[in-house]
Amino acid sequence: MTADLQKGRMGPRACLLGLLALFVAGKCSYSPEPDQQWTLPPGWVSLGRADPEEELSLTFALRQQNLERLSELVQAVSDPGSSRYGSKTERKYLTLEDVAELVRPSPLTLHTVQKWLLAAGARNCHSVTTQDFLTCWLSVRQAELLLSGAEFHHYMGGPAETHVVRSPRPYRLPKALASHVDFVGGLHRFPPTSTLRQRPEPQVPGTVGLHLGVTPSVIRERYNLTAQDVGSGTTNNSQACAQFLEQYFHESDLAEFMRLFGGNFAHQASVARVVGQQGRGQAGIEASLDVEYLMSAGANISTWVYSSPGRHESQEPFLQWLLLLSNESALPHVHTVSYGDDEDSLSSAYIQRVNTELMKAAARGLTLLFASGDSGAGCWSVSGRHRFRPSFPASSPYVTTVGGTSFRNPFRVTDEVVDYISGGGFSNVFPRPSYQEEAVAQYLSSSPHLPPSSYFNASGRAYPDVAALSDGYWVVSNHVPIPWVSGTSASTPVFGGLLSLINEHRILRGLPPLGFLNPRLYQQHGEGLFDVTRGCHESCLNEEVEGQGFCSGPGWDPVTGWGTPNFPALLKTLINP
Which residues does the annotation place in the binding site for Ca(2+)? 531-532, 555, 557
Query: What is the distance between the alpha carbons of residues 501 and 299, in angstroms, rounded to a whole number?
Result: 8
Which residue intervals of 313-424 are DSSP H helices?
317-325, 348-363
- Please identify which of the residues 29, 127, 139, 489 carries the catalytic annotation: 489
What is the amino acid identity at position 313? E
Q: Max CA-CA distance within the chain?
A: 82
CA atoms within 13 A on the CB side of 547: 3
* C-alpha distance from residue 267 to each of 237, 270, 328 (Å): 14, 9, 26
Burial of residue 199 (number of CB atoms within 10 Å: 0-12, 13-18, 19+)? middle
Give the residues across from 382 on adjacent strands.
385
Q: Which of 55, 132, 290, 292 is catalytic?
A: 290
**Phi–psi pair at 59, nearest 5 degrees:** -115, 125
Burial status of residue 13 (CB atoms within 10 A of its CB: 0-12, 13-18, 19 or more) = exposed
* Among 33, 182, 286, 292, the one annotated catalytic: 286
410-428 exposure pattern, b = at least 16 Cβ within 10 A, e = fewer? bbebebbbbbbbbbbbbbb
Inter-residue contact 421 to 374 (CB < 8 Å): yes
- φ, ψ dihedrals at 230, nearest 5°: -140, 165
| Gyration radius from the chain CA atoms | 24
CA distances from 294 to 7, 196, 232, 297, 496 (A): 46, 16, 16, 5, 7
Alpha carbon separation from 289 to 242, 479, 514 (Å, rounded): 11, 13, 24
Identify the bridge partners of residue 49 per DSSP, sorted by sequence position: 153
State how far the Cα of 206 lies from the Cα of 213, in Å rounded to an integer. Answer: 15
55-62 β-sheet, strand order? 123-127, 133-139, 55-62, 181-185
Residue 482 DSSP symbol: E
For residue 400, which phi and psi values (nearest 5 degrees)?
-100, 120
CA distance readout (Å), 100 to 78, 133, 513: 19, 12, 21
How far is it, in rounded angstroms, from Cα 183 to Cα 189? 12
Is 286 one of the catalytic residues?
yes
**Cα(529)–Cα(124) distance, integer angstroms:** 50
Active site residue 489: yes
How far is the C-alpha of 521 from the C-alpha of 11, rounded, in Å?
A: 59
Active site residue 486: no
Active centre residues (catalytic): 286, 290, 489
